[in-house]
């Protein structure tokens, strides 16, 4: 069990984050989100400035690069910069750095006139870059440390290299070639060890740089016995199944790195380092010992949310990530909010019947009290999920749920048996705060009411999200979301209220009350529908390491028809959000207004506070 000290530190971190969060909101409100342009510039060293001037006719790309360097050198924070000795030291360091930068771009005969103006505390650098050198002879040689090698080395051709005769002699090109040669040789050979060196010969007469790459190849090798040390509670056979390598495979260093990442991805290990011998054994095998350090396998979590339409909500949970020693996960969550209370338990068993398959069992007890209906439900589920290529995941299973539902007209008991199927793809770069990538998911489930066998229907949903950092200042992220759903084979009033589609609220169309963007009865209570559509566009701007702003517009509606017929139109909401970024995800505050406000139904605005991005 996690210690009380760690738990209290975790809670303290959340509390401190929220404190800073609301303090920043208050400050921004007082400032009315207005700030002079100069306030965006961080105060660094007021006693030292850099001015770089390039000669007329200098290449535009070099001029732009030096302009960026000028700002970097000026804004760089320093200590004791008011002391004259330190300022002169920094001046000399900047001159040397400029010289190296020019050489790295191929300007080996650049002339730098440097002067420090004490009155203006400014370092002046006048640069005449001169002629840019080009690559001359480029060759790759091999030094084979093995005599009488059984299998010929597979060596890359010159087409792989980016340093080509006549091209600009840029240092980064050579370093990239070194990495490219190393990776290519590792992928196409079975070498215990290999190295790639390079030598540059500068010819000042012909303004060229000759490059000689050298590949030093060691003995051939295959993977030998794979063992583990340091795993006290995680079963060895479970760790073995996580690895994509096995005894007899071609020995490649990149495969070892992939194996290490696969072990750490489980969340059960704080460290997993492969230990190798000095040389392969006589038979060419390389025994591998993974030195692992286990991490805490139990954890607790806590969360909080608030919105003006739903009210406050809190949640807490406990999780065990290695219940029986082979990565089995048991997670329990208790969520209490004004409109909904949920007690949930989920169990996962990896490597179920095959290595790419997971067994999932779940149970949920839920009570909901909304304007649309009141219900008490117990749901039991069992399913199998399988990992497919290219980040695809698919699954199927069975679910049985008993509910007592009271809506505007009646009270009914339903016992729904369903067989849900889904397929999804997740290519986000970060789950909590994505900067690029996308998600896609499609769900379908046939339903049968085991109390009233006449009640059968098919419920389906499809949706996705997309994220892209824009190539402008501060690289704001454009985030898009769209989803739609349909219920076929039944009239709307015959669909149990717990399975109808509702729109409106913080996770749906912001600016509208919970479930209020859709069909309403005479008392303006939501009825739900057999179809819906929702869209969102957000522009997320991270202003500093900790603070950010978001502008957004949401749109959609729920419809009485089986497919969206847009009879009720599309309802839109727009707003502004504030983000405070923490190590466990952003804290979120959004304010939204309904753009298609209904009299006596919609409030002038809605507020939402939660952890994590809206989607």
Q: What is the pLDDT of residue 47?
A: 60
Alpha carbons 515 and 524: distance in angstroms, whole number: 11
Phi, psi (degrees; rounded to nearest 5) at 107 = -100, 80
Indicate if the pLDDT at residue 10 is higher than 50: no
Q: What is the pLDDT of residue 84?
A: 63
Q: What is the pLDDT of residue 31?
A: 39
In which residue are the tokens 């050489």 written? 103
DSSP-assigned beta bridge partners for residue 487: 459
- Cβ neighbors of 595 (< 8 A, separation 6 or more) are 511, 571, 572, 573, 574
Question: Region 507-528: what's the mean pLDDT?
Answer: 94
49-58, 96-105, 577-586: which range is least confident on average? 49-58
- Cβ neighbors of 17 (< 8 A, separation 6 or more) are 580, 582, 587
The answer to whether the CB of 321 falls within 8 A of the CB of 238 is no
Indicate if the pLDDT at residue 37 is higher than 90: no
pTM above 0.85, yes or no: no
pLDDT tens per residue across span 174-203: 999 999 999 999 999 999 999 999 999 999
How many helices and strands, by DSSP H and E, does the chain display?
Answer: 6, 26
According to DSSP H, which parts of 151-235 are helical? 171-188
CA-closest candidate to residue 227, choices 243, 213, 208: 243
Indicate if the pLDDT at residue 567 is higher than 60: yes
Alpha carbons 503 and 326: distance in angstroms, whole number: 41
Domain 222-294 has CATH 3.50.50.60: no
Q: What is the pLDDT of residue 116?
A: 84
pLDDT tens per residue across span 284-300: 999 999 999 999 999 99
Question: Region 53-70: what's the mean pLDDT?
Answer: 84
Where residue 51 falls among pLDDT bands split at 50, 70, 90? confident
Q: What is the pLDDT of residue 549?
A: 96
Indicate if the pLDDT at residue 344 is higher than 60: yes
Q: State what percent of residues in the chain have pLDDT above 90.
A: 73
Angle between helices 84-104 and 171-188 (to 10 degrees): 60
CATH fold of 134-217 = Ubiquitin-like (UB roll) (3.10.20)
Indicate if the pLDDT at residue 80 is higher than 60: no
Q: What is the pLDDT of residue 583?
A: 82
pLDDT tens per residue across span 540-557: 999 998 999 999 999 999
DSSP-assigned beta bridge partners for residue 535: 482, 555
Indicate if the pLDDT at residue 362 is higher than 70: yes
What integer best gives the mean pLDDT of the chain?
89
pLDDT tens per residue across span 96-138: 989 999 999 999 999 999 888 877 778 889 999 999 999 999 9
Indicate if the pLDDT at residue 79 is higher than 60: no
Question: Region 459-470: what's the mean pLDDT?
Answer: 97
Indicate if the pLDDT at residue 78 is higher than 70: no
CATH number, domain 298-611: 2.40.160.50
Question: Region 434-446: what's the mean pLDDT?
Answer: 97
Indicate if the pLDDT at residue 24 is higher than 50: no
Where residue 326 falls among pLDDT bands split at 50, 70, 90? very high
Six-digit token pair at 387? 């990992």
Question: Region 271-281: what's the mean pLDDT?
Answer: 95
Indicate if the pLDDT at residue 42 is higher than 60: no
Question: Region 59-88: what's the mean pLDDT?
Answer: 74
What's the DSSP call for residue 268? S
What's the CA angle centered on 403, arms 398 and 406, to 5 degrees? 150
Domain 48-128 has CATH 3.10.20: yes
According to DSSP H, which parts of 354-396 are helical? none
Indicate if the pLDDT at residue 532 is higher than 80: yes
Question: Region 453-469: what's the mean pLDDT?
Answer: 97
pLDDT tens per residue across span 143-180: 988 877 777 889 998 889 999 999 999 999 999 999 99
**DSSP result, 2-60:** --HHHHHHHHHHHHHHHHHHHHHHHHHHHHTT---GGGGSPP--TT-EEEEEEPTT--H
DSSP-assigned beta bridge partners for residue 304: 314
Torsion of CA 153, 158, 160, 165, to 10 degrees: 150
Where residue 25 falls among pLDDT bands split at 50, 70, 90? very low
What's the DSSP call for residue 206? T
40-49, 191-200, 349-358: which range is least confident on average? 40-49
Indicate if the pLDDT at residue 82 is higher than 90: no
Element (H, E) at 426: strand 421-426
pLDDT tens per residue across span 485-500: 999 999 999 999 999 9
């Amino acid at each position: 069990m996690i210690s009380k000290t760690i738990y209290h530190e975790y809670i303290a971190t959340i509390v401190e984050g929220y404190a800073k969060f609301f303090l920043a909101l208050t400050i921004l409100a007082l400032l009315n989100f207005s700030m002079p342009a100069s306030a965006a510039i961080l105060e660094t060293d007021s006693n030292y400035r850099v001015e770089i001037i390039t000669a007329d006719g200098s290449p535009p790309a070099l001029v732009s690069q030096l302009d960026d360097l000028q700002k970097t050198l000026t804004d760089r924070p320093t200590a004791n910069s008011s002391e004259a000795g330190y300022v002169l030291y920094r001046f000399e360091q900047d001159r040397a750095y400029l010289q190296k930068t020019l050489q790295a771009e191929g300007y080996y005969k650049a002339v730098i006139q440097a002067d420090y103006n004490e009155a203006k505390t400014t370092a002046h650098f006048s640069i005449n870059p001169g002629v840019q050198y080009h690559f001359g002879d480029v060759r790759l040689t091999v030094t084979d440390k093995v005599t009488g090698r059984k299998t010929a080395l597979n060596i890359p051709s010159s087409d792989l290299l980016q340093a080509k005769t006549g091209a600009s002699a840029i240092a980064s090109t050579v370093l990239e070639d070194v990495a490219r040669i190393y990776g290519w040789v590792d992928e196409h050979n079975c070498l215990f060890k290999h190295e790639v060196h390079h030598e540059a010969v500068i010819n000042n007469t012909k303004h060229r740089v000759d490059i000689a790459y050298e590949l030093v190849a060691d003995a051939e090798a295959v993977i030998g016995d794979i063992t583990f040390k340091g795993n006290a509670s995680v079963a060895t056979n479970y760790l073995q199944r996580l690895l994509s390598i096995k005894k007899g495979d071609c020995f490649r260093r990149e495969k070892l790195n992939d194996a290490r990442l696969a072990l750490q991805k489980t969340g059960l290990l704080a460290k997993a380092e492969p230990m190798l011998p000095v040389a392969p054994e006589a038979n060419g095998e390389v025994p591998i010992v993974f030195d692992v350090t286990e991490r805490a396998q139990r954890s607790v979590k806590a969360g909080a949310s608030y919105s003006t339409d739903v009210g406050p909500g809190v949640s807490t949970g406990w999780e065990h990530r290695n219940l029986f020693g082979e990565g089995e996960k048991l997670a329990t969550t208790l969520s209490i909010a004004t409109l909904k209370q949920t007690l949930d338990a989920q169990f996962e068993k990896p490597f179920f019947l095959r290595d790419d398959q997971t067994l999932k069992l779940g149970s949920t007890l839920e009570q909901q009290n909304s304007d649309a209906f009141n219900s008490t439900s117990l749901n039991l589920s069992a399913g199998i999920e399988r990992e497919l290529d290219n980040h695809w995941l698919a699954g199927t299973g069975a679910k049985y749920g008993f509910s007592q539902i009271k809506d505007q007209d009646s009270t009914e008991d339903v016992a729904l048996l369903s067989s849900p199927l889904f397929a999804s793809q997740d290519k986000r770069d970060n789950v909590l705060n994505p900067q690029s990538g996308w998600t896609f998911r499609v769900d379908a489930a046939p339903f049968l009411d085991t109390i009233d066998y006449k009640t059968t229907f098919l419920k389906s949903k499809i949706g996705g999200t997309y994220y892209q950092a824009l190539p402008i200042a501060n690289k704001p992220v454009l985030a898009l979301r769209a989803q739609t759903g349909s219920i076929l084979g039944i009239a709307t009033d015959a669909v149990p209220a717990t399975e109808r589609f509702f729109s409106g609220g913080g996770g749906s169309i912001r600016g509208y009350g919970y479930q209020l963007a859709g069909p309403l009865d005479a008392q303006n209570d939501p009825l739900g529908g057999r179809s819906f559509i929702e869209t969102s566009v957000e522009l997320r701007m991270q202003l500093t390491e900790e603070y950010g702003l978001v502008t957004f517009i949401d749109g959609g509606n729920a419809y009485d028809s089986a497919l969206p017929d847009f009879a009720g139109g599309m309802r839109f909401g727009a707003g502004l959000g504030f983000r405070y970024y923490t190590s466990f995800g952003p804290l979120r505050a959004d304010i939204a207004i309904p753009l298609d406000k209904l009299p006596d139904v919609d409030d002038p605005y809605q507020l939402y506070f939660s952890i994590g991005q809206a989607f």
